[in-house]
Amino acid sequence: MPLWSQPTGSGEPPALSASLDNARHLSGLLRAVHFQDRATCFATAHGLRVTVEDAKCIQANAFIQAEIFQEYAVQEESVTFQINLSILLDCLTIFGTSSLPGTSTALRMCYHGYGYPLVLFLEEGGVVTVCKINTQEPDELLDFDFCSTNVVNKIILQSEGLREAFAELDMTSEVLQMTMSPEKPYFRLSTFGNAGSAHVDYPRDSDLMEAFHCNQTQTHRYKISLLKPSTKALALSCKVSIRTDARGFLSLQYMIRNEDGQVCFVEYYCCPDEDIAEAE
């Protein structure tokens, strides 16, 4: 692949350069956080983090660690830029989204620094495409200040159990209420829609439950329209960790295994809907 080794632009090495044999490893993860077009890319020596936010209430992060890439180099301590996620995804999947066995799109990314576009080289079956996507000044990101020491309740579930529940959520309900408790109903998802209320209960001894650490009964409501996009991440994942802290902030962490068996994480943070703090 001689094309890959040519540095583009100036003689200096790019601020960020990475190559991936299978672009799907990246596009799949990015799709899991694609509920807004504006995404902030934050690259360090450890890997890439892509963040998407909405309504100052929800934030999703996709983590692609350096080990996933075949080549990965970051010149400074960190490189940050903002990019249109729709366009980035369209380019990554420019050869089509259907995954034929054996064929994959190879990717090389270069970013020369502030003001430069993100350059993507994509190759499949000998055909090469070059995409240059303009980057923007990164906006300030929310800091949910969610740290593990403040976690009150934590549950790890196999995604299989939650997928149906999330896919079938009554969208006429404005909120999704989550109850986590050391007593019954243990873990309950509730909606209050036009037809009436609906509850899905997961007992602590269910086969789906990998870990159940609930110390306090907590019930919090979150805007369902904000959480619904997390269904995409749930669909790709094999396990999900659900944590709440004393303020009722919700952290959903999804463990996603790619085609090569490598594990990546996607995380959603959501702040609770006002007014309701305690169990009904």
Partner 1 sequence: LSRVGDELYLEPTDSGLSLRAVNSSRSAFASFLFAPLFFQRYETGGPQPLRCKVPMKSFLGVFRSLPSLEKTVSKCLILLQPRCNRLVLQLRCKYGVTKTHNLAFRECERLQAVFDTQSCASTLCAPARVLAEAVVHFPQTLAEVTLGTGPGGRISLRNYVEDDAEPRKTMVTELWLAEEEFQSLAVAPGSQITFCLKEFRGLLSFAEASNLPLVIHFDAPGRPVVFTLDDAIVEVHLVLATLSDPLSDPQPPRANGNVSHLPTPPDDFPDDLESYMATVETEEGPGVLPPSPTFPQRTPHPALGDPQQEEQDGEKEEEGAVPGTPPPKKFRSLFFGSVLTPGGPSPAPSQEVLAEDSDSD
Residues that bind partner 1 (CB under 8 A): 161, 164-165, 168, 170, 194-203, 205-208
Rounded to a whole number of angstroms, the minimum distance from the CB of residue 191 to partner 1 is 10
In 3-state terms, what secondary structure has residue 141? coil
Sequence-separated (6 or more) residues with CB below 8 Å from residue 204: 186, 187, 212, 214
Residue closer to partner 1 by CB (options 79, 162) is 162
Rounded to a whole number of angstroms, the minimum distance from the CB of residue 4 to partner 1 is 45
Rounded to a whole number of angstroms, the minimum distance from the CB of residue 172 to partner 1 is 9
Residue closer to partner 1 by CB (options 152, 165) is 165
Residue closer to partner 1 by CB (options 11, 196) is 196
Instruction: Show the CA angle centred on residue 174, arms to residues 172 and 180, nearest 5°.
Output: 115
Sequence-separated (6 or more) residues with CB below 8 Å from residue 97: none
Residue closer to partner 1 by CB (options 117, 193) is 193
Rounded to a whole number of angstroms, the minimum distance from the CB of residue 9 to partner 1 is 52
What is the identity of the amino acid at 251? S
Separation CA 94–CA 100 (nearest Å):
14
Residue closer to partner 1 by CB (options 44, 206) is 206
CB atoms within 10 A of CB 140: 7
Rounded to a whole number of angstroms, the minimum distance from the CB of residue 178 to partner 1 is 15
Nearest to 192 by CA among 221, 230, 231, 162: 221
CB atoms within 10 A of CB 191: 22
Separation CA 269–CA 85 (nearest Å):
19
Residue closer to partner 1 by CB (options 57, 165) is 165
Measured in whole angstroms, the distance separating CA 140 from the mean position of its chain's CA atoms is: 18
Rounded to a whole number of angstroms, the minimum distance from the CB of residue 194 to partner 1 is 7
Rounded to a whole number of angstroms, the minimum distance from the CB of residue 195 to partner 1 is 3
Residue closer to partner 1 by CB (options 71, 164) is 164
Say what the alpha-carbon torsion angle 103, 48, 80, 84 is, to the nearest 10 degrees.
Answer: 40
Q: Write down how long the chain is.
A: 280
Rounded to a whole number of angstroms, the minimum distance from the CB of residue 121 to partner 1 is 42
Looking from the CA of 30 toward its CB, the CA atoms found within 13 Å total 24
Looking from the CA of 231 toward its CB, the CA atoms found within 13 Å total 14
Nearest to 228 by CA among 18, 23, 1, 58: 58
